[in-house]
Each structure stands twice: as C-alpha cells, then as structure tokens.
Structure 1
C-alpha cells in the first residue's frame, strides 16, 4: 500500500494546531509550487485556481522573486525599520507612493498583513479627523485582528465568542447584486441601497462624528462582487461633503488581480486611504497603508510600528514582485485571460442549469451555483463541484457556501487555463449526471 504522506502529516498537525486557524476544504499538504502548479507531499500535481487567496498573483516561486529574496537574505534579513532605515524598504515605499491612485503627495506605513493595514486605516482616520465612528459594509472581509475583524462581517465565527469588539463601528448593506429584487433596474437598486446607507446618518449616527468609510470596491471573500459605479460615487461624494475620509481595502483585489493595479481604478474615484497586502510581496508577510500626506502625518511614532513590518527580505520580494508585474505585463494579461475565462463560464451557464450569475473582473471571478428549480444558492452542489475539481487535479474553493472562487495566478499559461476549463467542465458534467458523492465532512467545508 502506498504511504499517504498528506494524511500522515495532517494527523500529526491536528494534535498541535488550533482548529480556529484553518478553514476546512481538502486534505492537501503542499510540498512545493511553481508558477500556477502545486505539488503535494504524495507527489501529485494540481493546477492552482486560488493563488493562495490572491496572495501569489505572480505565481509560485517566480525566479525573479526568489532571486530577490536570496540576494537580500545574504545581506540583511532583518533590522527593524521601526528604528533604522534600509535601502530596499525605502525604495519600495517610493515605488508604492508613485503607484498610489491618489493625486498629491502620499505616504506609506508598513504592516505584516492586510489585517493590521486595515487597523492602521482606523488609527490614522480617527487621529486625522478627531472623530470616533467607522462605517463598513456587510459581507466585508478586512482581516482577523480585533480592529479589522470589527469592521468585517463575512462570517459569524469572526465575532462569535469574542465580543465586545471595537466600539464605534457601524455596518451598512453592501450593494451586492444578489440582493437585487426581481425586475429591479440597476438605477433603482442603487437608489434603494444608498437610501439604506443614509438611514443611520439620518437616525442615530451624526455624520460630523464619523472618521472614515471603509469599503472593498470589489468584495473578495464576500463573493467577488463589484459595487455599482453610481453607488460608489454617491458614497464617496457623501463622505467628502461631510468631512469623512473615504478608504478602500485593496488587499484581495489589488496588485493586478482585476486587470488594473488597484480595483478602485475601475471607478475613477480617488481614495484618501488604502490598504494593501497579500500579493504585495508574493505572499511574504508584508502590508501597507497608503494615504494622503496630511492624513498620515496625524500620528507620531510609535502609534503604528511593528518590529518586523517592512523588513528587508519582504520588501525585496515586493520590489521583485512589482518588477514582474511590470515587465511581464500582468495587468494586460489579467484583462485578456479574464475575458477568456468569462467566455468559458458564460458557456457553462448555457450548458448547466445549476450555473447562476457569472462575475469576472480581470482574471478574478465569482460563479454562483444554484438550485436549478428555485435558483436559490445551492451549497451542496457547490461542495460536490469543488470536491470533484480537486479530485480531477485543480484547487478551487467556495465562498458564501455556493460561489466558486476563481483566482488563478496571473502568470498561468493559456494551456494551463484550458486544462483548468476542461477539469471544471468535466466536474460540472459529472454533477449534472449525479455522479459525485458529497464528502462525509461536507458540513465543515467552507466559510
């Protein structure tokens, strides 16, 4: 009998790793990765359609990123930027400031993850405006530190048993396409949702006491859902009319994921603050908050310093990551391959009655799986699908129970993309013909 190294390691790990630290999907132990491929401990290779939760947009172990890490590690691994500067980190700050979708001078503050970057948005916004309240949106995922978790609302397990969370947070409904009424036009939908946005301000939340409105222009873990253009314009204008800062979370949807550097660039709206992370350093622990200079000057050290934030190795990886995105034209590649992916998933809509709405923004999509009769979300079918896709050799997960998350590395080849389409189509064919068994742990799978 062949030894199952995946299971052996998972059994060892289960004894010492807390269950709260991993969302359950498949029994996969990753040994290595290259480009858009992963290899497990048993030696089996998979196509990666998740890119480590959009944290490896430049693929796994890109040679230029690896070389940047190796060269820096030979010179200086760490000396905290909280006390002293280093060239690699200083150069990255200048590059990010230049890429920021904001006019006028901007500044950068480092973090270790998207979570603390969103915490920093709260800190800087409160300090600059001298106001206490923060407005965020339902369906949001901003991270797992107490501040970022307090403005998130994608899972009850992010608030269950841990309250009270950060005070002064008010959530309003995100303009999610799933909430459109039957026959409702986009204009009517926008007006209805903007009225819901305004309701707290008209009843119990004084606008002059609100520091910041924080939004994902395209929600990631909320289902790859894009806010309507007009809605975002109304919210941004409302913020500016009332002296409220307008902040965007680009942790999941930034770094070329949507075909532009930042998802907010699809809207032509300038934020006051933005958070970035995940693919910034090709998955190494690094994040940043970027904001208008006058806002970033509102706090003095050590209000937002971390010992390892902005360390030389992570920033070397980030500089190399920016190089790869620029030299390999990954923004354009995301757009072109995104159109190809959209065409494929629209074709599956015509073939399979359980494929609902298809949303694709660059190489970045959410595909709803529904009950063919009721058109309501179908978690069971979705779980069967991702399980079968995994069995066939690709890694794809679900969001909100019934949404396929399609976020492959932007360096995926067209041949690999076609292989992925063939796997997905085969899984859908098997589902349509009732040939997939629900896994025994189905109730535990997903968010």
Structure 2
C-alpha cells in the first residue's frame, strides 16, 4: 500500500534559515520513505543520510518531517547558487513552456550556443575556444579524453593518486579509490596510468619537488611520445580535498605544453566560484588546454561541458561528439541563469568570505583537538583530516562517528578521502555565516562525544 506524504511548503531563499529539530533524524516519514526505497531501488544506490527532502534553499534542507537541516554539502557542490534560486526557477519555467527537448544534434536551439559562448568567455585563457555540452561530469571527462586522443593521435592518459573522475568504465579506471567506486566492476579501460600527487600534509614536499617526481614517473613509465593527456583536479575532490603545493600544477602544465600533451583540468567539483575564484586553476594562473565542468553549472539540473582550445576541440570528426540529451534546453536555461549569478551576483566574493569563516572556525577547533591533523581547502571548499594524534594515521572510524552525530543533530556533512578520514565542507554559496558557525559548533560537539 502506498501512503501519500504531506510535504513542507515550497522551498527557496524564503525558507527560515535555521536548524530546527522536530523529530529524531531520520523522522518517521523519512523512515517510511526509506523503507519504500529499499523495496524499489537497488542497494547499490545508497543514501548517506536517510532523510528525504521536501524543500531547500539558502543554507538549509527541510525534510518531510519538518526538520530543518544545515546544508554543508550542497548536493556535492551542485547547488552553489542555492537549491531554488529565483533566477533559475524563472528561466527553467519559461523554457519548459516553450519546449523541453529537440536533441541539439538533430535541430539546434540558441540556449546551447549561448552556454557555449559564455563558457568560452569565462574559462581561463583568452585563446579561441569551443565548448561541447553533455549530461554528467563523468561524460565530460570521457569526451575530453576522446578529444585529446583525436587531437594527438596518441592513446595513453595520466591521472593521479587520490583522483576521482567518475563511475563509468573509463572514469572508474581513472579514479583511484577502489571502495565503493571500482571494487568488483572490472575489467577497466586500458592505457590509464597513475602518477604521484602533491599531498603537502603527508609528503612535505614543495610543489616543484613533487612535480619533478610525477614527471619522472610519467617519462619512465609512459613516455611523452605515447601520452595524449594529463587529467588532474586542481583540488582533489573525493580524494580528500587535497590542495597541491604551490608550483605543482604550473610545472605539470608547462611540461605538458613542451611535450605536446593535452593538459585537462577536471573542474567538475572546483568550478564556478566554489574555491573563491571562478575556476580553481586561476589561483596559480594555470591555463588548461581543456577544462571539464559540471556540478554547479546549472543550479542542480544535469549538464556538463568540455571547453578548450579551438584547434583541439575541432579535432573530432563530425558526429563524433554528442548524445541524445547533451545540452538539454531546460538545463541550458538553468545554466545561463546560474552563470549570470556567478559572474555578476557576487558569488565568487561570497565563496571567499565563506572560506574565511570556515578556516577560522576550523583552525580554532584544530587548536582544541589534536585529532584534526590538517585544515585545508580554498573558499567554500574546505576540509579537515582526522587522524590518530600520536601516529598521524588516518582515523576513518572517528570521521564516520562525527558525520553520523552531525546528521542526527541536523547538519548535513560529507566525508571523503582515500583513507575515509576527511570531512568536507561544501555549503551553498547562499548560506549565512551564522549557519556556518553553528554547523562547526555541531562538529565540535561530535568530536567531544567521540571516544578518544
């Protein structure tokens, strides 16, 4: 028997911006929906915090039981402009009233072209560019590799320790972490090679030193003459919010340029103001040959892109790129509204302000609790790495405990890291300072409650 659940009012920035606990979390209506989920959805599709949303906006998610949770995850960096930004809602509503689909590769429409023009202008570098639109981050990465191989007539691709690039067959091969992303799903695509990343907290090397090691590995194990592309996240996402030491990314980009290798920046999680710059590459003045984007691009609607040098992007033959839903007109309308907010709505500045608040609060917490081994990140992409204070070994159990405590207390926290010991802070850029500070206070409570 199916029960119809009464939902909370429509979301958006008008929702009260407060943490409000009316029931235990998850509450009875969420538990009922979770039970239905278990009978209708395979177990491989997991829900980290089994509450079900009824409304969201600003910096909160309201569940079907009326609890209001502080959102420090923004759907894994997707709802940067907010969960129901009025500009996005208006643009999507207008487009839906016109048409929802034609398939751009059958009959075109202006929205696709307009998004491409915007991305060509906004992404790093003043060279001539082209943009192709797709649906997901993994799809963008796959197509970037296709384009690089077509341009160079080479096959090998280099990725890095702790990388995350997606869940398709090729991107699983490119992703470093086995569980839960790769285990049992092989065999994977060939000609994917892994090099050492700069991880300042654990290796203590300068950026140029770490780059020299990675370049030596590439030259010895792959050979520049065989290499189509280097693919790297300017800040590792799922791998643990690792910020490479200064100089690491520029050295890799320079080596790639000197050797005719396509340098691909995977900015799927770092892009669109998230790090306090429109794109994370800008922090070190790196201009990638190709850049992949998704997540924050369209206010929560599925859209991704590959943008890059015209001569590289044009290498693929006619019909070699595309897909039925790529650059869907409704998603493009959402993207145009979102891109306007990123460019002119003060969101990049807001990300920097969020970074100041989070870094200050997390560093203060680190002074209190030596189990916080590192505080790192940029802008509204911050993290703490939890360790055994005596040995520095990763403490995944503590990390899980903190996240579970926070969820039960009404704070959405995401974990990550190769070792499962990193808590990441990815709030919407529309969140208030008060909610940020309250979220960190709950983390403090969670650490205090955890066994030492």
So what's the TM-score if we normalise by structure 2? 0.90
Cα deviations by residue, 1:95-139 (Å, 9 ceiling, x for unpaired) = 111001022110001110000000011100000000111111121
1-structure distance, mates of 2:210, 2:58: 44
2-structure distance, mates of 1:324, 1:103: 22
Q: Which residue of 1 aligns with 2:75?
A: 52
Q: Which moved more, 1:248-257 or 1:164-173?
A: 164-173
1:264-275 superposed matches below 5 A: 264-275=281-292
Instruction: Work out whether residues 112 and 327 of structure 2, in 8 Å CA contact, stay in contact via their aligned partners in 1.
Output: yes
2-structure distance, mates of 1:280, 1:382: 30
Instruction: Work out whether residues 77 and 295 of structure 2, in 8 Å CA contact, stay in contact via their aligned partners in 1.
Output: yes
- The counterpart of 1:33, out of the listed 26, 42, 56, is 56
2:104 equivalent to 1:81: yes
2:172 equivalent to 1:153: no
Deviation at 1:190, TM superposition (A): 4.3
Q: Which runs of 5+ in 2 are unaligned?
A: 1-22
- The counterpart of 1:61, out of the listed 80, 84, 102, is 84
Q: Which residue of 2 aligns with 1:214?
A: 231
Deviation at 1:278, TM superposition (A): 0.7
- The counterpart of 2:213, out of the listed 175, 195, 201, is 195
Q: State the number of aligned residues.
A: 426
Q: Which residue of 1 aligns with 2:188?
A: 165
2-structure distance, mates of 1:201, 1:253: 28
Q: Which residue of 1 aligns with 2:34?
A: 10
Q: Which residue of 1 aligns with 2:301?
A: 284
Instruction: Work out whether residues 370 and 389 of structure 2, in 8 Å CA contact, stay in contact via their aligned partners in 1.
Output: yes
Q: Which runs of 5+ in 1 are unaligned?
A: 435-447
Q: Which residue of 1 aligns with 2:140?
A: 117
1:289-304 superposed matches below 5 A: 289-304=306-321
Deviation at 1:366, TM superposition (A): 1.3
Q: Which residue of 1 aligns with 2:164?
A: 141
What secondary structure is seen at the aligned counterpart in 2 of 1:275?
A: strand
Cα deviations by residue, 1:170-204 (Å, 9 ceiling, x for unpaired) = 11121122431xxx4x33x74255324412422x4
Deviation at 1:143, TM superposition (A): 0.9
2:433 equivalent to 1:414: yes
1-structure distance, mates of 2:283, 2:214: 24
Q: Which residue of 2 aligns with 1:250?
A: 267
So what's the TM-score if we normalise by structure 1? 0.91
Instruction: Work out whether residues 297 and 303 of structure 2, in 8 Å CA contact, stay in contact via their aligned partners in 1.
Output: yes
Instruction: Work out whether residues 176 and 225 of structure 1, in 8 Å CA contact, stay in contact via their aligned partners in 2.
Output: yes
Instruction: Work out whether residues 30 and 39 of structure 1, in 8 Å CA contact, stay in contact via their aligned partners in 2.
Output: yes
Instruction: Work out whether residues 211 and 244 of structure 1, in 8 Å CA contact, stay in contact via their aligned partners in 2.
Output: yes
2-structure distance, mates of 1:156, 1:417: 30
Instruction: Work out whether residues 217 and 226 of structure 1, in 8 Å CA contact, stay in contact via their aligned partners in 2.
Output: yes
Instruction: Work out whether residues 295 and 304 of structure 2, in 8 Å CA contact, stay in contact via their aligned partners in 1.
Output: yes
Q: Which residue of 1 aligns with 2:353?
A: 336
Instruction: Work out whether residues 37 and 60 of structure 1, in 8 Å CA contact, stay in contact via their aligned partners in 2.
Output: no
What secondary structure is seen at the aligned counterpart in 2 of 1:248?
A: strand
What secondary structure is seen at the aligned counterpart in 2 of 1:108?
A: strand
Q: Which moved more, 1:335-344 or 1:153-162?
A: 153-162
Q: Which residue of 2 aligns with 1:92?
A: 115
Instruction: Work out whether residues 102 and 292 of structure 1, in 8 Å CA contact, stay in contact via their aligned partners in 2.
Output: no
Q: Which residue of 1 aligns with 2:45?
A: 21
1-structure distance, mates of 2:298, 2:216: 38
2-structure distance, mates of 1:279, 1:337: 16
RMSD over aligned Cα, in angstroms?
A: 1.8
Instruction: Work out whether residues 273 and 342 of structure 2, in 8 Å CA contact, stay in contact via their aligned partners in 1.
Output: yes
2:127 equivalent to 1:127: no
1-structure distance, mates of 2:310, 2:195: 28
